[in-house]
Amino acid sequence: MYTTPPRMLVLGIESSCDETAAAVVRSDGQVVSDVVSSQVALHAPFGGVVPELAARAHIENIVPVIEQAVSQVPGGFAGIDAVAVTNGPGLVGALLIGVQAAKAIALSRDLPLVGVNHLVGHLLAVFLRRNDQDPAPPSYPFIALLVSGGHTALYEVRSPSDLEQLGQTRDDAAGEAFDKVAKVLGLGYPGGPKVDKLASQGNRARVPLPRPLAGRRELEFSFSGLKTAVAQYVAAEAANLDDAHMADICAAFQHNVVSVLVDKALAACDRRSVPRLVLTGGVAANRGLRALAAELCQARGVELFVPPFASCTDNAAMIAYAGSQRLILGEDDGLGLSVFSRSPILGVTAQVAEARRFKSSRLPRPGGV
Ligand code: KG4
Ligand code: ZN
């Protein structure tokens, strides 16, 4: 029977969307290597991720990216104790590339293999240690606001294997709304950083926009109405769109997004009596979000944790760490591991059960993907 080494080194692999990534992380969160190959330039001309192009690029990139990550481990592959791979949610064609690579490594080196829910990876990324200056991570339980291009949701995280989703977006993810607004303004893809930069130069009071679901009790979000309001405003003002006006639009849009995000996150802290908030996902890089969260958390006595940017965006280190926490519990999915494109996150245990049900109903034989 497999027994967990006290400080195992886990190879993590991530290919759920438009980043091919591999990393090696110690089970205490120490990052040994972290390689991310971004496909942003490949998808930029299309204004969003094209699933088939993403899968083909993963095929080309996966081996060199893994080799680069493992080359930084003393002893190379011989120093790796287990493999963790994102097996959902995400683009199925893209996920399969990472999962197949992980299976090949696990099979050839006789290593345990665990699937990791991408969202759980984001939620535990705050425990990654990249250098000695990293601030201390939160203690459990904490509230997490996960804001990325594909997801916007609030969770109570009680332990690595006990997570509860408290609310999510009813339509667009926050990052998706940033990207779409940037597209309407002709700023290019991905739009978040561009809107962020312009917003810092704008006057938000000049542009009237809605604050969707603000002040309501639900811990849910909705950004598609706000995005449409921006598109309608831009169409009506097409003749007057100089740089200053664009900056004002970005400032108003960004403020309305981040103020709703922070309000609901703090409402979740209140409701659960948990005075710790973690921001994660690509949108956690947003300067407006960080500033407002810092200000309001301080005013409300809530401790705020924001992982470094490399941990907030898609990466494989968070997958390796989340996988290590499953391995510590003695879990091993083996070569029958399959992928899933969507799933409501009720808790890791429920997720695992769901992934296993899916696996056993579709893939009775190991290694069948
Ligand atoms: O987590 P991530 O790297 O990928 C996933 O979607 O899983 O997040 C990418 C998203 C994109 O929508 C991007 O526009 C957004 O994060 N983003 C930002 C900023 N930096 C990245 N949004 C707002 N402000 C930023 N500074
Ligand atoms: Zn992500």
pLDDT at 37: 87
Tens-place pLDDT, residues 277-308: 999 999 999 999 999 999 999 999 999 999 98
* Position 67 pLDDT exceeds 70: yes
Residue 305 near ligand 1, beta carbon < 6 Å: no
Give the list of residues 6+ apart from residue 321 with CB closer than 8 angstroms, or none.
10, 12, 25, 27, 29, 121, 124, 125, 127, 128
Instruction: Check if 47 has its Cβ closer than 6 Å to any atom of ligand 1.
Output: no
Q: What is the mean pLDDT of residues 99-117?
A: 97
Query: Atom 13 (ligand 1): residue with closest C-alpha?
Result: 192
pLDDT at 345: 54
CA of 129 to the centre of ligand 2 (A): 19
> In which band, very low, low, confident or very high, does the pLDDT at 72 lie, cut at 50, 70 and 90?
very high
Q: Is the CB of 286 under 6 A from ligand 1?
A: yes
From the CA of 193, how far away is ligand 1's center (Å)? Answer: 8
CA nearest neighbour of 320 among 133, 143, 112, 154: 112
Is the pLDDT at 332 greater than 80, yes or no?
yes
Residue type, 252: A
The model's pTM: 0.89
Q: Picking from 42-51, 67-76, 246-255, 347-356, which range would have the lowest pLDDT averaged per residue?
A: 347-356
Assess whether the C-beta atom of 18 lies below 6 angstroms from ligand 1: no
* Residue pLDDT, tens place only, 159-191: 999 999 999 999 999 999 999 999 999 998 878
Q: CB count, 10 Å around CB of 8?
A: 17
pLDDT at 48 over 80: no
- Distance from the first to the final alpha carbon of the chain: 25
Q: What contacts 128, CB < 8 A, 6 or more positions away?
A: 25, 29, 31, 134, 307, 311, 317, 318, 321
Cα of 291 vs centre of ligand 2, distance in Å, is 22
Across residues 217-225, what is the average pLDDT? Answer: 91
Lowest mean pLDDT among 73-77, 124-128, 208-212, 304-308: 208-212
Closest CA to ligand 1's atom 22: 192
The response to whether residue 324 sits with its C-beta less than 6 Å from ligand 1 reads no
pLDDT interval class at 347 (50, 70, 90): low
Residue of the CA atom closest to atom 16 of ligand 1? 282
- Which ligand has the shortest distance to the CA of 290? 1
Instruction: Judge contact between 87 and 94, C-beta under 8 A.
Output: no
Return the ∠ at Cα 191 (arms to 188 and 194), rounded to 5°.
90
Q: Could you write out the three-class secondary structure of 138-151?
A: CCCCEEEEEECCCC
* Cα 146-294-269 angle, rounded to 5 deg: 55
Nearest ligand 1 atom to alpha carbon 179: 14
Distance 75 CA to ligand 2 centre (A): 30
Give the chain's mean pLDDT.
89
Going from the Cα of 324 to the center of ligand 2, the distance in angstroms, rounded, reads 18
DSSP state of 221: B
| Residue 51 predicted with pLDDT over 80 | yes
Q: Is residue 155's pLDDT more than 70?
A: yes
Q: What CA–CA distances, in Å, run from 85 to 44, 55, 88, 128, 290?
A: 26, 16, 9, 17, 30
